[in-house]
């Protein structure tokens, strides 16, 4: 008998399978909120150990349950996304059960930048309020010669209730408004307004705008 070819029953030949380490737990929050930025914003997914994770996004809890209608890309637009964090087997770690998370992308705030009191000198040409927005969104300008009445109505524009805003719009429609940038001398109450959209909140800025006498020539 070739004793060199024999192995003892309790000898370790180095080929026996090593037990897998349990998948590390997820430590990132399972409810997260971010603000719309115009760029893809992935859900933060972190485990107790630095292992690769996969995040899948769905439009509803039902879609997540049945693993259907998944989004192909990281979300950009505002809304509620239902995520599934997958923990694949990796480098000695066992595959873990999927972990569910809820992800909200909220509307961004628009800042309208304009001096509250602006003046211009009459010269027969239209005069416009100077304003800009951050981020850059289209702005509308409404010029009201009846400053006091317009001011009272505009105060309610920031109401979050849609019916309240609709009532304000109706009230403003009954006031005389200069449809274009004014030419004549006088004091105007100006509303610089952004109505909001799918990804941005409503914003407005009030400006008192005076067109005064022509500049004197020396």
Query: What's the pLDDT tens digit per position in 55-86?
Result: 999 999 999 999 999 999 999 999 999 999 99
Q: Mean of the pLDDT values across residues 8-27?
A: 70
120 and 203 together in one domain:
yes
Task: Report the CATH number that the domain containing residue 58 is assigned in CATH.
Answer: 2.60.40
Token pair for 87:
């923990």
Domain boundary among 81, 106, 131: 106
Domain for residue 6, yes or no?
Answer: no
What are the structure tokens assigned to 173, written together? 């429609």
Q: What percent of the chain has pLDDT over 70?
A: 77
- 118-128 core/surface letters (b: 16 or more CB in 10 A; e: else): bebebeeeebe
Residue found under tokens 């637009």: 77
Rounded to two decimals, the pTM is 0.74
Q: How confident is the model at residue 171 (pLDDT cuts 50, 70, 90)?
A: low
CA–CA gap between residue 108 and residue 35 (Å, rounded): 6
Q: DSSP E strands: which ranges in the chain?
A: 31-35, 54-58, 79-87, 96-106, 111-113, 117-121, 132-134, 140-144, 186-194, 203-212
Domain count, the chain: 2
Same domain, 98 and 126: no
- Spell out the residues 6+ positions from residue 124 whose beta carbon is closer than 8 angstroms to its own: 183
Same domain, 31 and 54: yes
Query: How deeply is 113 buried, as exposed, middle or buried, from its count of CB atoms within 10 A (0-12, 13-18, 19+)?
Result: exposed
Structural domain contains residue 7: no
Supply the range of the domain harboring residue 194: 111-212
Task: Give the alpha-carbon dihedral of 149, 155, 158, 163, to 10 degrees.
Answer: -50
Same domain, 78 and 140: no
């Amino acid at each position: 008998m070739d004793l060199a070819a024999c192995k003892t029953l309790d000898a370790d030949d180095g080929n026996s399978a090593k037990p897998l380490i349990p998948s590390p737990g997820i430590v990132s929050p399972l409810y997260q909120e971010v603000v719309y930025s115009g760029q893809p914003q992935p859900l933060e997914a972190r485990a107790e150990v630095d292992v690769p994770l996969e995040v899948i996004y769905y439009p509803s809890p039902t879609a997540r349950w049945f693993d259907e209608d998944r989004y192909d890309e990281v979300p950009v637009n505002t809304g509620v996304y239902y995520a599934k964090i997958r923990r694949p087997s990796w480098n000695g770690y066992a595959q873990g059960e999927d972990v569910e998370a809820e992800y909200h992308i909220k509307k961004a705030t628009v800042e309208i930048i304009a001096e509250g009191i602006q003046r211009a000198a009459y010269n027969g040409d239209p005069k416009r309020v100077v304003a800009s927005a951050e981020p850059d969104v289209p702005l509308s300008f409404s010029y009201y010669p009846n400053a006091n009445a317009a001011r009272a109505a505009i105060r309610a524009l920031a109401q979050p209730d849609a019916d309240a805003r609709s009532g304000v719009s109706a009230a403003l429609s009954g006031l005389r408004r200069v449809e274009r940038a004014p030419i004549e001398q006088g004091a105007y109450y100006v509303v610089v307004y952004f109505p909001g959209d799918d990804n941005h909140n409503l914003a407005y800025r009030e400006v008192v705008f005076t067109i005064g006498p022509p500049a004197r020539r020396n």
